[in-house]
Amino acid sequence: MTLFRSPRSLVVPALAAGALSACSGGTLAPPGLQAEPDAATRIPALGALSAPAKNEKRLPLIFVSDGGSRSQPGAVYAYEDSGSNQSPVWALNASPLKYPNGLWVDGGGNLYVSDLSGYVYEYATPGASGPPALGFTYEDQGYAPNHIAVCGNYLYASASGGGGGVVTVWKLGHKTPLKQVVVAPEGADEGITCDAKTGDVFVAADQSYDGPGQVYQYKALASGDPITLGISLIRAGGITFDRNFTTLVTGDSYNAKGPAIEFWKPAGHEPVHAIYGSWIGSPAGFAYASTDKYLWDVDVDFATANEFTPGKGTPLDSITNAGNGMTLAAPNDVAVSPPDHP
């Protein structure tokens, strides 16, 4: 049983209570496998996804996933990377999305969205003119996929269910998981990323009765026994690498000095540095932008997406605007396009 269970990756609108029941400790029970959406059977092959029109505006975009609320559907919002608390240029909130959570943009520009209903959806390269087309559907059998990462030819999800936490691995273009690996000691729902140079996968887990929260390093395909890094976390929130894969970024809302965004060398026992501030509550997800010049985070406590410089940590832009007079309800993750990582 998890001692601390973050609300970040398990934020589900109240209307979802009947669809995703909770078991003891707050971990989501495995959603029943659902029939794959019809649209997934009528899609172009991988590599043939629709691309933005030649003359389409291609400013950098920021994506924020939002689990929604009783009065607001779950959505992925796209923002131009300019201005201050800017309105979204479009919102992706149509079926099959229900409870969008994790986000990832791959090297080809395709957008991946994990959904707590038990799927990961791959969309064509987004532009500024409107939501992208659904490209492919991956099903996470018996688990709710939270955070996601694409590394090489594989898609990874940190997922939770009645049996604890797992890392689910798919080969790109295959809807059924290649494997599901139980994370030691338990819990895999607080963040996942990968080193594109080595293919290694890094998973952040909360503190539990088994001991302090940690970051675990797996070989490609989440194979073999994980290496436990010297990164102690109490209430983990999101994890990402810088562009050169030399520094890991994590969030910890129960840091002894207060909620923090922490920068680590993978083998280090102390962070290289940490950012504290009144604007940090529960960091949930991160994305570098402009070749590591800026870093975006999503904070659940303040329902905000923040852009800041990694060295100073003073917000340059704080987005709460969901358009049409609405504000973000339950943001979970952030991604940028084009991606900052290779």
Nearest to 166 by CA among 180, 176, 146, 150: 180
Burial tier of 214 (Cβ tally within 10 Å: 0-12, 13-18, 19+): buried
The encoded tokens of residue 23 equal: 């078991």
Measured distance CA(202)–CA(325) in Å, rounded: 38
Measured distance CA(79)–CA(329) in Å, rounded: 16
The pLDDT value recorded for residue 267 is 76
The pLDDT value recorded for residue 207 is 65
| pTM listed for this prediction | 0.83
**Domain positions in the chain:** 14-32+59-337
The pLDDT value recorded for residue 48 is 31
The pLDDT value recorded for residue 184 is 58
Contact 128, 120 (CB under 8 A): no
**321-323 and 192-194: which strand pairing?**
unpaired
Could you tell me the CA-to-CA distances from 61 to 5, 57, 129, 233, 318 in Å, in that order? Answer: 31, 11, 11, 31, 15
- Stretches where the chain sits below pLDDT 50 are 1-55
The pLDDT value recorded for residue 135 is 96
The pLDDT value recorded for residue 264 is 93
Measured distance CA(42)–CA(23) in Å, rounded: 36
Residues 78-133 pLDDT 10s: 999 988 999 999 999 989 999 999 999 999 999 999 999 999 999 999 999 999 99
Q: What are phi and psi of 28, to 5 degrees?
A: -65, 135
The pLDDT value recorded for residue 210 is 57
The pLDDT value recorded for residue 324 is 92
The pLDDT value recorded for residue 182 is 85
Domain 14-32+59-337: CATH superfamily, name plus number: TolB, C-terminal domain (2.120.10.30)
First to last CA, the chain: 37
Contact 201, 151 (CB under 8 A): yes
Question: 């999800």: which residue's tokens?
Answer: 157
